[in-house]
Amino acid sequence: MRIVFMGTPTFAVPTLERLLQSEHEVVAVYTQPDMPSGRGRQLTPSPVKQVALEHGLTVLQPPRLRTPSQVEQLASLRPDVIVVAAFGQILPQKVLDIPPFGCLNVHPSLLPRHRGASPIASAILAGDEYTGVTIMLLDAGMDSGLILAQRRVAIEPEDTTGTLATKLAQVGAELLIETLDLWLNRQLVPQPQDETKATYSQPVAKEEGEIDWQLPGGEIWRRVRAFQPWPGCYTRWQGKILKILEARPAPGKGEPGRVVSLEGKGFVVGVYTGDGVLGLLRLQMEGKRAMTAAEFVRGQRGFIGAVLPS
């Protein structure tokens, strides 16, 4: 079968690589335009583009896949099916209608839960015990298409958005290959989503990373994990941003924002919250390297006993 692949970030790479190992032909790859990156703000290709070029694939990067000429170019590739994984654009109906076997999407949640832009972070924020991957047929809505297959993945206490995305990317790639062959052989019956159970995840804003110590410790802990690696959770100390890279909730009661010693309780230092205490494990001061909480406390006199802003 002739396949057009659409994807952009690291999450999409395993799916592209598995397609390249299959018996199918990837005739072209669509990805988002190169973006400025790093201190020099140089244009940098997406992870998907880098892999595609390494394999000598045709790469197309329309800012919006909607104009008649762009749709005509896609149609000229004669794809039997389009595979989408975190492409970053909502495809119009005229694109969805091109391949006879439709457009299959790899979505990192158990739809209809966590439709939208940030399903992995949303699952952690919600305290879900598990999430998963859904292979669905795209329609013109927001992740509302018919479901072809799903697979659960447990959310471990130490999982962050970064680690969970890596797991889901691998599971999604394998499930896509299994599902694709069944679908192409007409051995699957698509199932509609239960709209009464639909939830939606919004894009994560950078300012959401600032910690409000009035919140319960468990909620702050989930935010630390959900916002890692981006935008990161942070507070302020001595006029600089202090990132909380790793933490754990613990019982305790005190003034929210007050830094306390937790020696002998499984932590070196913690911060009282609106409910409990957040034990700190790894920190990073603005302009400095990441370090353990013990290293940080040794170098920051006055930290224990301070009150961090909410």
284: domain CATH number is 3.10.25.10
How many domains are there within the chain? 2
* 215 shares a domain with 112: no
Q: Are 95 and 68 in contact (CB under 8 A)?
A: no
* Entry pTM: 0.95
Is 37 within the bounds of a domain?
yes
Same domain, residue pair 103 and 169 = yes
pLDDT of res. 37 = 82
Looking at residue 270, its pLDDT comes to: 97
Q: Which residues of 80-96 are buried (b: 16+ CB within 10 A; e: fewer)?
A: bbbbbbbbbbebeeebb
- Mean pLDDT (whole number) for 241-262: 96
Where does a domain end: 167, 201, 235?
201
Residue 82 lies in domain: 2-201
pLDDT greater at residue 160 or residue 38: 160
Confidence (pLDDT) at 263: 86
Same domain as 185, residue 111: yes
Q: Do 92 and 157 reside in the same domain of the chain?
A: yes
Identify whether residues 192 and 220 lie together within a single domain: no
Confidence grade of residue 90 (pLDDT, cut at 50, 70, 90): very high
Cα 168 to Cα 218: distance, rounded to the nearest angstrom: 24
- Percent of the chain having pLDDT more than 70? 100
Domain end: 173, 201, 229, which one? 201
> What pLDDT, in 10s, does the model give residues 155-202?
999 999 999 999 999 999 999 999 999 999 999 999 999 999 999 999
Mean pLDDT of 39-60: 94
Q: Helix (H, G, I), strand (E, B), or coil: what is residue 65?
A: coil
Q: Is the dihedral of CA 32, 37, 43, 46 positive or negative?
A: negative
What pLDDT score was predicted for residue 266? 84
CATH number for the domain including 196?
Answer: 3.40.50.170
In terms of domains, do 128 and 98 share one?
yes
Classify residue 310: in a domain, yes or no. no
Same domain, 170 and 41: yes
User: Quick one: DSSP state of residue 92?
Assistant: P
| Same structural domain, 16 and 95 | yes
Position 309 in a domain: no
Q: Do 119 and 48 share a domain, yes or no?
A: yes
- Looking at residue 271, its pLDDT comes to 98
Last residue of a domain, one of 178, 201, 224: 201
Task: Mark whether 168 and 39 lie in a shared domain.
Answer: yes
67 in a structural domain: yes
Answer yes or no: do 213 and 66 share one domain: no
User: Confidence band (pLDDT; 50, 70, 90) for 92?
Assistant: very high
Burial state string for 225-253 with b = 16 or more CB within 10 A and e = fewer than 16: bbbbeeebbbbebeeeebbbbbbbbbebe
Instruction: Write down the pLDDT at residue 301.
Output: 87
Output the CA torsion 154→11→219→269 (10° steps).
Answer: 100
pLDDT of residue 262: 93
- Report the DSSP pairing between strands 25-30 and 2-7: parallel
Q: Does 197 map to a domain? A: yes
Average pLDDT of 31-49? 91
Q: 65 in a domain, yes or no? A: yes
Terminal-residue alpha carbon distance, the chain = 56
Residues 181, 182, 184: CA angle, nearest 5 degrees: 65
